[in-house]
Structure 1
Amino acid sequence: MDKTKRIYKKALQNFENGYIDKAIELCDECISADISSNSALDLKAMLCYFKGNLNEAKTVWKLNVEANDDISAKRYLNDVAADEERLNYYVRALKCIKKMEIKEALKLLENCSKSSYNCINVYNYKAVCYIKQGRYKKAEESIEKVLKIDRNNEKALSIKKELIDLGVIKGKISFKKMYKPLAALVVILLIAFGGFEIKNYLKTNKVEPKKVATKKVIKKESVKKPEKKIEVPVKEEVFNTSELQGAVDNKNFDKIYEYVEKWQGNNSLKVNDKILLSKATDMLLNEGVEYFYKSATDLIKSKNYEGAKINLLKAYKYGEKNYLYADIIYFTGETYKNTNDVEGAMNYYKLYDQKFEKGSYEETVLYNLAILNKDVNIEDAKKYAEKLSDNYPKSIYNNSNITNILNK
């Protein structure tokens, strides 16, 4: 059993035993060893989701989509707006509890319970409301749901103690009895919330770690003797108006790109040809950028990084004013990294950091810059590690790899 698999198995066991914080810690350790570990990413995202840490869960889901094109993670990201609305219900419920508007608070908390988001806090405050209504059995049921997920949860333990003091529950808390049916609960939760690939893991007991290249491969070429050049008469190129018009009409952006690159700035063109070329350029700046970006992302999914790079560089050249520009720069860096061109990757990651410091991929960019620089320029590596640590202290990327760089 490899290291990643062992750590993940421990994380899952800790979750099953109600040690949610330890499970998250082990997920982080697993992700540090293999940042694309689908099982660990799935588990951590779901545990953060249970605890109400939506931003952290979103970050992990996003990473899982980027690394594994994970369908469940995509679905959760699409449903985030509904969970943000549930957070509003939760905040309003707490205000109602303070005002002793218990019936209204329970209605709001019931709306929160339509998903597993923030379920630990929601069940705790449901218990508070039930106690205030004298519905002690319901209160006990609510806190036991919390303790099955987080056996050390202070608020749930405090409420349970209150119920013991009231004489509703006899004796001490029996964790052994409480966790006996937990395995079944875990399976139900994972199936119900569609979260992640733990079921596949348990069936196949196999995790495939991906290796991230960190060094540029330089091939040595043998020295060849210069060959005698044979003079070939150069044919004068003629602007083919009908061919470009056909490319414009059919939105053949590859052909349009070829023409614009070859003829842009050529003052010898006829007026009508200049107008057609200008129209073609405008198409590249708008629809063309989107076409090349979409083509690139499709190629990335099939791991054709060289093909993706070609399309992204076309999109980059004409995409500065396009809404996709930040994504284009980031994924261009990714294609360079995945084709073992560290220098090219760092150039685009640096560009992203300079232009989109608050962008969606900034955490990933800072992490990559720190890791790629650690064997090249340790001072730069530390600079990016510090920026990641300071600006995103709770980031999934703020792991042992970053700590090791900072301690050098």
Structure 2
Amino acid sequence: MDKSKKIYKKALLSFEKGHIDKAIQLCEECISMDINNSAALDLKGMLCYFKGNLNEAKTVWKLNVNANRDVSAKKYLEDTIEDEARLNYYIIALKRIKNVEIKEALELLDKCSESSYNCINVDNHKAICYIRQGRYQKAIESIEKVLKVDANNEMALKSRKELIDLGVIKGAFNMKKVYKPAAAIVVILLLVLGTVEIKNYIKNNRTQTKKTIMKKTAPNKTVKKEVKKPVEKPKVPKKEEVFNTEELQTAVNNKDFNKIYDYEEKWKDNKNIKVNDKILLSKAMDMLLGDGVQYFYKAGTDLIKNKNYEGAKDNLLKAYKYGEKNYLYSDIIYFIAETYKNTNDAESAMNYYSMYDQKFEKGSYEETVLYNLAIMNKDVNIDVAKKYAEKLSNNYPKSIYNNSNISAIINK
């Protein structure tokens, strides 16, 4: 198990013990080591979601969708659509509490509880309302929910002390009877996902036997080698390739983009093909510039999911060659950089990351790009690394990538 996965498991255990802030910190440490750890991204997003940090949660989940095509993160994002309305209910509920309109406040807080969003704050204020109404058992349940997620939550501990002072409860809660929120289910699912082995590698050891042949000759005897003149092979005239109109037409009809790509590469600069073939080739080019780019992009990203980075690179480079005017161009450049990074070609990866930064400074992957450029350059050119680290820190101060690794580079 790599270090990133070990830290992720620690984050889960911290969350299960109610140490939510420690869990978030460990998630950030984990993500800084491996941006492809989708489970850690999902968990961090969920923890921010519980704390009511909706924008931060959405940012993390969007990153997971973009970087890893994570299905869970996509579902979480879809489920946040109604949370904006729940936030409004929560804000109004606080005003109702302030005006001692407790019944109305509870009705609004119940609407907020239809999802786990902002559950810590919602349950804390529910507890306050229940205490005001004298419904102490309900207050205890709400406090227990908060402490299950955030064991050191000051507001919940204050409400708990108030109930102790009132003589309603004595001493500590029996945590064995604590209500388990939806987060507990998430923990179990994420723990399973986080411990699944993605690949099993089989190493075949090949043993090569070297044979040394010792040739012995008489001490004062010179062995003359007969030099044979090389036999000249008769020159075979090269066959002139003929443009196969029918084959290309079939490829166009069947949207066989790999075949179309091969034809374009071979014949696009040839001035000797017939007029009708030029027209067909032009039609094939239009297909490559449109659906072809999308085809190669999808094929490439699907292969990335399966960790087939060489195959992904081949498809994405085809998309890149014809995709300059396509809306997917920025994504194509980013994922090419990712394939090079994952095949240990750091120089090529940095070239494409730099290209992304120059062409798409406001793009969806800019935070990731700046982080990778800073980290990859720190042992090559610290001044360049600092430039990217400072750009990340200044432009995205709240980014999950603006972490201790970036601070260390800036302070060098």
TM-score, length-normalised on structure 2?
A: 0.78
Question: How well do the aligned residues superpose, as a CA RMSD in angstroms?
Answer: 3.5
Q: Which position in structure 1 is the counterpart of 2:225?
A: none
Does 1:190 pair with 2:184? yes
Which of 287, 291, 297 in structure 1 is aligned with 2:301?
297
Q: 1:393 is paired with a residue of what secondary structure?
A: coil
* Paired letter, 2:173: K
Query: For the Cα contact (< 8 Å) 2:136–2:168, is it kept in 1?
Result: no
Q: 1:185 is paired with a residue of what secondary structure?
A: coil
Q: Which position in structure 2 is the counterpart of 1:257?
A: 261
The whole-number CA distance in structure 2 between the counterparts of 1:307 and 1:2 is 25
**Which runs of 5 or more structure 1 residues have no equivalent in the other structure?**
211-227
The whole-number CA distance in structure 1 between the counterparts of 2:95 and 2:411 is 45
Matches within 5 A, 1:257-406: 257-406=261-410
* Paired letter, 1:185: K
- Deviation track 1:312-341 (CA, whole Å, cap 9, x = no partner) reads 111112222322222111101101111221
Q: Which position in structure 2 is the counterpart of 1:220?
A: none
User: Based on CA coordinates, which of the two structures has the bigger radius of gyration?
Assistant: 2
| Cα 1:376–1:89 shift into 2, 3 Å | same
- Counting matched residue pairs gives 381
Tell me by how many angstroms 1:135 deviates. Answer: 4.2
Q: Which position in structure 1 is the counterpart of 2:175?
A: 179
Matches within 5 A, 1:21-170: 21-37=21-37, 40-62=40-62, 64=64, 70-94=70-94, 97=97, 103-131=103-131, 135-161=135-161, 163=163, 167=166, 169-170=168-169
The whole-number CA distance in structure 2 between the counterparts of 1:209 and 1:53 is 35
Tell me by how many angstroms 1:8 deviates. Answer: 4.3
Query: For the Cα contact (< 8 Å) 1:10–1:26, is it kept in 2?
Result: yes
The whole-number CA distance in structure 2 between the counterparts of 1:249 and 1:128 is 69
| Cα 1:100–1:156 shift into 2, 3 Å | same
Tell me by how many angstroms 1:397 deviates. Answer: 2.2
The whole-number CA distance in structure 1 between the counterparts of 2:352 and 2:291 is 23
Tell me by how many angstroms 1:131 deviates. Answer: 4.8
The whole-number CA distance in structure 2 between the counterparts of 1:358 and 1:229 is 61
The whole-number CA distance in structure 2 between the counterparts of 1:104 and 1:254 is 64
Query: For the Cα contact (< 8 Å) 1:367–1:384, is it kept in 2?
Result: yes
Higher relative contact order (CA 8 A, sep 6+): 1
| Cα 1:199–1:270 shift into 2, 3 Å | closer
The whole-number CA distance in structure 1 between the counterparts of 2:267 and 2:80 is 47
Indicate the percent of aligned positions where both proteins have the same amino acid: 70
- Deviation track 1:120-165 (CA, whole Å, cap 9, x = no partner) reads 1221233344455554543343233112211322333344455556
Tell me by how many angstroms 1:229 deviates. Answer: 11
The whole-number CA distance in structure 1 between the counterparts of 2:85 and 2:144 is 26
TM-score, length-normalised on structure 1?
A: 0.79
